[in-house]
Homo-oligomer: A and B are copies of this chain.
Amino acid sequence: MKQIEKLLDFRPEIKAFDVTMRDGGLVNNFGFTDEFVKDLYQTNIKAGVDYMEFGYKASKEMFNPEEFGKWKFSDDEHIRAIVGDNDTDLKIAVMADVGRCDYKKDILNRSDSPIDMIRVATYIHQIPAAIDMIEDAHRKGYETTCNIMAISTAQENDWKAALEMIGKSSVDVIYIVDSYGSLFPEQIARICDLYGEFAAKYNKQIGMHAHNNQQLAFANTVEAVGDGVNYLDATYGGLGRGAGNCAMELLLSFLKNPKYNLYPALQFIEKHITKLKAEGLLWGFDIPYMLTGVMNQHPRSAIAFTNEKKTDYTGFYNMISGRD
């Protein structure tokens, strides 16, 4: 937190980035109703949110469209049905996973698409493939991000090599992604320093995508703001995989730019998020997610445990801490 004098002021460069449908889609298999999506789109516009991520551009060769909601694939025509020509200040993003997206075929030219930004999600050992996707999207006219997942499991020397490669690409934003929710604000500060060096050298922006396994998603996002990060992922109600994400309502309450507006966010939450909760959709802080976060592990074991409505936390602890 290096910019404490900014706590009452604001940086106009900051972007609030709604990823409710993409990270939340991992919770409900992308099965959002059209009413939900339309209301979310209108909410983001009214709340002054800068970007809205619709979902993944997943390969239909690899994933059967009959087994997922449509936002696993985010066809341009489905986005168009929600946003029309999107004559608003809200930009539209989708995520493309390295190795899971037929990007040359499925991502059209921006001039023919309602999409403004392609976010490329990659593990650190896949950077060259990510850069190929970034350059393809850049040539087609899109804004781009590179979201390096699971950085808490990578080594600092590998980060540096990755940031050097990504820095030389055409990408606009490099994201810090705490996939396992295992990082503390103090570590975020050090990571922001490192990313910041490369961002300054190559004139890139930095983004933050946090998970709430240790109830630190908002705290880590606030820390990142103070360390110069401008692209801030959040979801309404914190809806997202496992322990969920930084809550948009907390972020909008914190950001001081007068263009942001909490009220429509509250309207959306009371209409839609409380309904998902009441219907039994499971996400948000819970002991199993805390344990995978503390142990710097993927949350999939905790998701399975939670979905079975188990509360045998000690058994879960024994399982995931097993040395044999």
B212 touches A314 (CB 8 A): no
Q: Which of A107-115, A165-173, A214-222 contacts B (4 or more CB under 8 A)?
A: A214-222
Distance from A315 Cβ to chain B, minimum over Cβ atoms (Å): 9
A1 touches B189 (CB 8 A): yes
Question: Which chain B residues border A194 with CB–CB below 8 Å?
Answer: none
What's the Cα separation between A35 and B205 when bound, in Å?
Answer: 55
Question: Which chain B residues border A226 with CB–CB below 8 Å?
Answer: 186
Give the number of times this chain occurs in the complex, counting copies: 2
What's the Cα separation between A92 and B266 when bound, in Å?
Answer: 43
Distance from A221 Cβ to chain B, minimum over Cβ atoms (Å): 10
- Which single residue of chain B is at the shortest CB-CB distance from A316? B266
Which of these, B184, B186, B274, B314, contacts A270 with CB under 8 Å? Answer: B314
Q: Known contacts being A185-B185, A226-B186, A317-B266, is A250 close to B311, with CB within 8 Å?
A: no
Count A interface residues, CB 8 Å: 39
Distance from A274 Cβ to chain B, minimum over Cβ atoms (Å): 5
A311 touches B263 (CB 8 A): no
Question: Which chain B residues border A4 with CB–CB below 8 Å?
Answer: 186, 189-190
Is A313 part of the binding interface, using a Cβ–Cβ cutoff of 8 Å? yes
Is A200 part of the binding interface, using a Cβ–Cβ cutoff of 8 Å? no
Question: Which chain B residues border A219 with CB–CB below 8 Å?
Answer: 185, 215-216, 218-219
B317 touches A184 (CB 8 A): no
B186 touches A311 (CB 8 A): no
- Which single residue of chain B is at the shortest CB-CB distance from A275? B311
Distance from A232 Cβ to chain B, minimum over Cβ atoms (Å): 15
Q: Mark A114-149, 1 if CB is under 8 A from B, else 0.
A: 000000000000000000000000000000000000
Which of these, B187, B215, B247, B311, contacts A247 with CB under 8 Å? Answer: B215
Question: Which chain B residues border A253 with CB–CB below 8 Å?
Answer: 214, 290, 294
Question: Which chain B residues border A186 with CB–CB below 8 Å?
Answer: 1, 4, 7, 222, 226
Q: Mark A190-222, 1 if CB is under 8 A from B, else 0.
A: 100000000000000000000010111111001
Q: Mark A289-324, 1 if CB is under 8 A from B, else 0.
A: 010001000000000000000011110010000000
Distance from A293 Cβ to chain B, minimum over Cβ atoms (Å): 9
Q: Mark A1-44, 1 if CB is under 8 A from B, else 0.
A: 10010010000000000000000000000000000000000000
Is A223 part of the binding interface, using a Cβ–Cβ cutoff of 8 Å? yes
B222 touches A185 (CB 8 A): yes
Is A162 part of the binding interface, using a Cβ–Cβ cutoff of 8 Å? no
Question: Which chain B residues border A274 with CB–CB below 8 Å?
Answer: 311
What's the Cα separation between A263 and B313 when bound, in Å?
Answer: 9
B215 touches A250 (CB 8 A): yes
Sample 16 A-B pairs with CB under 8 A, ordered by A number. A4-B190, A7-B184, A7-B187, A185-B223, A186-B222, A186-B226, A214-B218, A215-B215, A215-B218, A215-B219, A215-B250, A216-B218, A249-B287, A250-B290, A263-B314, A266-B287
Pairs of residues from A and B, 3 with the lowest C-beta to C-beta distance, nearest first:
A219-B219, A266-B313, A253-B294
